[in-house]
Structure 1
Amino acid sequence: MEFSFPFFHGKITRRTCEELLSKKKKNGSYLIRESESVEGALCLCVFFEDLTYTYRIFREHQGYFRIQTSEGVPERMFKTLKDLIYAFEKPNQGLITNLRYPVKKPKALRRSQRIKSGMDNIYDEADDSDGYVTVLP
């Protein structure tokens, strides 16, 4: 599974994930990684009060994404991962806290992956000072 989000870390261990999230100690920090235990599933990992909460994301056969949130909260389907992230940036959606601070993959790793996937360095010209790239419609 290949995603080009800066907060998609691919195959990192749960331990590495927890280290990355706890570095900043900011409630609402999050990243997405591939699940170690469930083949093909993703994990949305969210930092809150010194703990990392993990929510599984499954890719459905129609290409939709389904996320398992808290007990008793209906499962929701999203057309894209971006839609899923947008939905959970709002408070009280069934996660321990809303998503606030995407934890980006270290630049060196992003670059080597990009070369492997054959993409050219489209982000190299962008001014990375505030971590946002403006995309015009």
Structure 2
Amino acid sequence: MSIQVVVDSCVAYKWFYKEDEAGLEEAEDLLQSHLDGTRIVSAPTVLPVEIANTLLSSGLPLEQTDEILDLLESARLHLYYTGTRQLQRASALARKHRLAVYDALFLALAEELSCPLVTADCKAFAGIDTPVEIRLI
């Protein structure tokens, strides 16, 4: 049986745009376990949009950005549709925890799936009091 987790864009970014930073090995292990079938890595459908935005904002050439987005698609993450109900829940969590709504979407999905949220966004998620397990890498 595979273990499910929700990852945020900060973790997924580490898979493709590798720099010498904290959490890189843990992020790579998550992706590899997903590819091996021992873990189900999930995210809201906003994840590829956030990755594309971050890559373009970093000044990466468009060709490299396209290659990374192709690699992200080939990883076949379990992407969950973000509808009105999910946005409403994320908005409530954003207000309660002083998060941006797009960050709260990841927390809302982890809550909905009853699984941990793995994040590298320590600034946003450190110290949040929630029944969802938050793993900071």
Q: Which structure dedicates a bigger proportion of its chain to helix?
A: 2
Q: Which structure dedicates a bigger proportion of its chain to strand?
A: 1
Q: TM-score, normalised by structure 2?
A: 0.26
Query: If you compute each CA radius of gyration, which structure gives the higher value, 1 or 2?
Result: 1
Q: TM-score, normalised by structure 1?
A: 0.26
Higher normalized contact order (CA 8 Å, seq sep 6+, divided by chain length): 2
